[in-house]
Structure 1
């Protein structure tokens, strides 16, 4: 059965039609603005879901008037489906039009949509991992022996996650040039991006239990764009033997909009062939990848279009690995894919790869570039197939501010 049409002006046929309906947390701008609450994007407008709940579904008011999505996440998959169906009815039945409050995107401030308790970042792209391995270890194996047996990841810093549009301060730390005898201290000179996809956990799993790959859809609420900014010079000096720390923990930018998994049903695809026999808890019986494209824009120039469908490890496998040791989950936890890179030169999701470690400048905005300069603006645009055409998964925007 085809989806009914929305009555919201200019939303029908847009990337934010009723086959999408991503959730965010917004407040109105200006003096006397309303408190932050849940909203749903429809076209270039935002349905004030908190106000709609107070008027029409008071029993859902605690879920939809909160300044974060966590109460809705914790309500579980059955409630997610009920709220989504209700929102679709509101936006397709013109009888509801006079009862609803729609706000223009220019009227609202978007807040970090989720109170993130724990953040784990994976390294799930074989193309990215191979490219980085060749740059950092030119005389060694590009992939470590464990890479195709388990999804490699690191535990990031939840307190440094910021919403799209927040300026990112250039980090300072220790760097050591290959020819130097000792490190120096100062602002990073090899500041980079990582175009990633994040997965927002929607249910708590007690410590000591674990999540099967088949439990992915009842555990993860939706996806959000992620830019895991990276100071490559700080990272290169510190990461042996325990992995990323200050080179990553200074900032991670998250989209203001979380797209429910239900909106991505059409975008499901198999992951590329995994050519190593996997331990049982990582084996999948159905397609668990997503056909999502990330457009990487630097100062107004698109420098890459990275295909998420090329990722080696699926989000369900990452989730299963994250919990196989009994680690707990909480509603609002976030894990990310790691850099999304495809096999082609224009499909690379980091500047480290696009510039071959800084040795091969590329052109953006009419200038030759390698790593980020102060004042640079990076925008990641996400899209995927939907029930009526391509849907938008929001953007991740950040401008580089000088070091303190």
Structure 2
């Protein structure tokens, strides 16, 4: 679909996130129909797949029409790769500039297309489990140098294992959901015991996430060379982090309340089929990984990523970071292979976070912890303010896209506004 054009003109704009080459899936509702259902983003519109299925225009092997009327993508995803491929091909056919079926049927088009501006987006999948990795060498090096030893920034296991931890699936929210500043224990440097307080060092983490599409059985590891076939698609992900809570609690077992209060994902799931043209070589790995973590070929993806911060009373957002997913040391396939090598099973809809994505330059760092070096060098904003960490009322906006020849495959925005902490009783 590299040179294809849609009859929907908004989909053909050079900087549109959702051309016919993309076709990401999401769950939406609107005033005309308040029931959450499956849609595909195209241009500035949403194509209602429940309408197409009910009209007999979207017949997918093994799929009942009702699957497109469900409030999550899990049922559709669970149909498997053959169904995904068939659905993508048929949707692309119906939206192609040369196809009159939907283009010339004004009544059907009016029912099947809805404005994105008028829609409410919902969490796209039911998430049985959530795992967050720590797979950016640049990020891990920065954090190690900052908080431990600059001469031994990476722990001995980091280049051997895709480090990760099991997060909290229940607090994953869709873009646009407000985020409450968390409360918890903070250990101040001049006090012997911790205090109970609202977080004072609230941060973002620029990440992507991948959605499991093909499950695995308990006791059956996923081979690294086959791991990508288990992935349905990707989202943008902001793993909000309370750095001061984390500093006190993470020894000996790692993150807990510092991460559990909210994780925001973008509403559109960009399929691996749409990302395939943007496959690139991942960074060189040394030492060579153990055999179960080896895969031949290209397993990184050229996804440009940005973070913006917009203060509550400011008319302008400031870009804080511009980086790229291709910098990630451990690939998604390696992450999934390691996750399951113990026999851990996966389920349709499981979410796997990449970990903070940082690049090699100061303006490509994926967290305020790095950008301000733990608050020591505040960042200037466009309206004259500065930030060491996130303040109440600030909105964080993540953007991501792959740049093609005359088109881009985008993720849309992943946003969240921070609200004040609930006062302790």
Give the TM-score band, short-chain normalised: over 0.9
Once the two structures are superposed, residues 223-274 of structure 1 have per-residue CA deviations (whole angstroms, 9 ceiling, x without a partner) of: 0000000000000100001000000000000100000000011111111110
Query: Taking structure 1 as the reference length, what is the TM-score of the superposition?
Result: 0.97
Indicate which of 71, 75, 80 corresponds to 1:76. Answer: 80
1:370 aligned residue = 388
- In 1: Cα distance, 2:25 partner to 2:321 partner: 27
1:44 alignment counterpart = 44
Deviations 1:191-223 (A, max 9, x none): 000000100000111101011122223200000
Question: Could you tell me which residue of structure 1 aligns to residue 70 of structure 2?
Answer: 66
Q: Which of 322, 325, 328 is the aligned partner of 1:311?
A: 328
TM-score (norm. length: structure 2): 0.92
Q: 2:278 aligns with which of 259, 267, 270?
A: 267
Alignment of 1:22-37 (within 5 A): 22-29=24-31, 33-37=33-37
Moved more, 378-387 or 307-316: 378-387
| Root-mean-square deviation over aligned CA pairs | 1.4
2: CA distance, partners of 1:139 / 1:397: 33
Residue 418 (structure 2) aligns with: 400
Instruction: Tell me by how many angstroms 1:2 deviates.
Output: 5.2
Which residue, 268, 286, 291 being the options, matches 1:257? 268
Tell me the CA shift for residue 277 of structure 1. Answer: 2.1
How far the C-alpha of 1:339 sits from its partner, in A, is 0.3
The reply to whether residue 276 of structure 1 matches residue 282 of structure 2 is no
**C-alpha separation between the residues in 1 aligned to 2:346 and 2:150?**
40
| Match 2:245 to one of 234, 252, 258 | 234
Q: CA deviation at 1:363?
A: 1.0
* Corresponding position of 1:340: 357
Aligned-partner SS, 1:130: helix
Instruction: Compute the displacement of 1:64 (Å).
Output: 1.1
Q: Do the aligned partners of 1:263 and 1:386 also contact (CA within 8 Å) in 2?
A: no
Give ranges in structure 1 of 5+ residues lacking alignment: none
Contact 1:27 1:109 in 2 (8 A): yes
Deviation for aligned residue 1:12: 1.5
SS at structure 2 position matched to 1:15: coil
Does the CA-based 8 Å contact 1:200-1:223 persist in structure 2?
yes
Residues 1:6 and 1:60: Cα distance change in structure 2 (over 3 Å): farther
Where 2:409 maps in the other structure, the secondary structure is strand
Report the 3-state secondary structure (helix = DSSP H, G, I; strand = E; otherwise coil) of the residue aligned with 1:237: helix
Please list, as runs of the form range in 1=range in 2, the aligned pairs for 1:214-233 lying within 5 A after superposition: 214-233=225-244
Match of 2:407 in 1: 389
* 2:337 is the counterpart of 1:331: no
Report the 3-state secondary structure (helix = DSSP H, G, I; strand = E; otherwise coil) of the residue aligned with 2:132.
strand
Q: Does structure 1 retain, via aligned residues, the 8 Å contact 2:239–2:262? A: yes
Q: Please, which of 64, 86, 95 is the counterpart of residue 101 of structure 2? A: 95
Match of residue 9 from structure 1: 9
Q: Quick check: 1:20–1:386 contact (8 Å CA) kept in 2?
A: no
The match for 2:20 is 18
Deviations 1:55-100 (A, max 9, x none): 1246541321110000111111111000000110111113222234
The alpha-carbon distance between structure 1 residues 277 and 2, as it changes in their structure 2 partners (threshold 3 A), is closer
| Structure 1 contact 211–323 (Cα < 8 Å) conserved | yes
Higher mean C-alpha deviation, range 198-207 or range 358-367: 358-367
Secondary structure of 1:159's aligned partner: helix
Distance 1:381 1:60 in 2: 34
Aligned partners of 1:266 and 1:385 also within 8 Å: no
Q: Any stretches of 5+ residues in structure 2 without a counterpart?
A: 311-316
Greater displacement, 97-106 / 107-116: 97-106
Secondary structure class of the residue paired with 1:36: strand
Per-residue CA distance 1:355-404 (angstroms, 9 max, x = gap): 00111111123212110100001000011134643221121100000000
Pick which of 350-359 and 49-58 moved more. 49-58
Aligned residues: 402
